[in-house]
């Protein structure tokens, strides 16, 4: 019998697209900082916390958070 709990496919919603972009940002930060990145890196933790909030559907990103994410993307994105 199949489990009744299914993992949500985020790629088909607007929030899902934002989550995927935030995960890409987290990966870009990891790649840019390399082995010197501290496990408690402030920028990485900020992005990771926002991803968790979006996945749990506790709230959406505010305008300020979107601006911060955009600034981080300009710094670490390609």
* Residue range 1-50, pLDDT digits in tens: 555 555 555 557 888 899 999 999 999 999 999 988 888 999 999 999 99
Residues ≥6 apart with Cβ < 8 Å to 34: none
- pLDDT attached to residue 65: 95
CA distance 68 to 38: 20
DSSP state of 60: P
Whether the CB-CB separation of 30 and 37 falls below 8 Å is answered with yes
- pLDDT attached to residue 59: 84
- pLDDT attached to residue 12: 73
CA distance 47 to 24: 10
- pLDDT attached to residue 9: 58
> How many residues does this entry show for the chain?
78
Positions of E strands within 1-78:
none
């Amino acid at each position: 019998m199949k489990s009744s709990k299914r993992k949500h496919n985020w790629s088909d919603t607007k929030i899902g697209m934002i989550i995927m972009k935030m995960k890409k940002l987290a990966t870009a930060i990891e790649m840019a900082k390399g082995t010197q990145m501290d496990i408690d890196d402030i920028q990485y933790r900020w992005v990771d916390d926002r991803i968790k909030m979006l996945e749990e559907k506790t709230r959406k990103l505010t305008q300020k958070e979107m601006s911060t994410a955009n600034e981080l993307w300009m710094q670490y994105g390609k």
